[in-house]
């Protein structure tokens, strides 16, 4: 009876080891697939950018016309040539001055690319057009992207074609409100760290100075009343 129990436990241990081995192998396969896929996407994007170079003068004229028709001062920069759609450029024109030098289009994050990224705030701005984001399969893909980015510590804001076209003020308000809140949190943390660095005897000396200032401000009749 005892030998039978021992055999069963050994079989169970062997089965568990096999399962662990299979899990590790599957994890390795997934990692290999992700790396291969990432290299393929990078190569594809690199080739796409290279093929665009001869058409840069035409693109530049189109970008200038876009900006003029939208009431912006026409300015060209390299970021415009990296964007895949006019929807991205439309939002970029609106926020480039406020976040100058901090916006990165087509920012890589793991196996994905962020349409417009503000790495300083860990904010991913995704723009969903009708053509590419209307199918259930694409929506499921977007959900996986959002989950992955969230796990990496990023906040994802998704805006539709209608949002950018008809509700731009609301879009800008959401982005600016979020970045403003993050700036406030950073400032509060900075002040807290600086305060912690101040030696205790300095804090005590400052408190004494404040008390002396307060004494000079208190009227005489209040002093007599306090006594």
- The packing angle between helices 86-95 and 168-197, to 10°, is 50
Could you state, in chain order, the average pLDDT of each consecutive group of 10 residues for the chain (227 residues)?
A: 57 74 80 74 75 88 92 90 89 93 90 92 87 67 88 93 92 95 86 64 60 51 47
To the question of domain 75-219 being in CATH 3.40.960.10, the answer is yes
| Rounded Cα gap, residues 47 and 49, in angstroms | 5
In DSSP terms, which residues pair with 114 in a beta bridge? 107
pTM of the predicted model over 0.75: no
Q: Is 118 helix (H, G, I), strand (E, B) or coil?
A: strand
In tens, the pLDDT along 116-150 reads 999 999 999 999 865 445 667 777 888 888 999 99
Q: pLDDT digit string (tens) for 169-200?
A: 999 999 999 999 999 988 888 776 666 655 66
Q: Where are the domains of the chain?
A: 1-53, 75-219
């Amino acid at each position: 009876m005892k030998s039978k129990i021992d055999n069963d436990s050994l079989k169970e241990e062997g089965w568990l080891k096999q399962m662990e081995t299979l899990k590790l192998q599957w994890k390795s396969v997934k990692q290999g697939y992700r790396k291969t896929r990432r290299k393929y996407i990078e190569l594809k994007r690199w080739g796409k950018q290279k093929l665009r170079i001869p058409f840069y003068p035409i693109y530049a004229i189109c970008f200038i016309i876009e900006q003029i028709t939208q009431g912006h001062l026409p300015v060209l920069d390299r970021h415009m040539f990296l964007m895949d759609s006019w929807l991205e450029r439309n939002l970029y024109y609106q926020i480039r001055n406020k976040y100058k030098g901090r916006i990165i289009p087509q920012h890589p994050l793991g196996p994905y690319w962020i349409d417009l990224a503000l790495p300083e705030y860990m904010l991913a701005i995704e723009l969903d057009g009708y053509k590419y984001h209307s199918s259930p399969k694409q929506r499921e893909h977007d959900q996986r992207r959002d989950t992955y980015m969230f796990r990496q510590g990023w906040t994802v804001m998704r805006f539709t074609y209608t949002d950018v076209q008809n509700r731009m003020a609301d879009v800008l308000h959401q982005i600016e409100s979020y970045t403003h809140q993050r700036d406030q949190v950073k400032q509060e943390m900075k002040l807290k760290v600086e305060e912690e660095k101040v030696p205790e005897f300095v804090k005590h000396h400052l408190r004494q100075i404040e008390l002396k200032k307060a004494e000079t401000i208190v009227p005489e009749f209040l002093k007599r009343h306090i006594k």
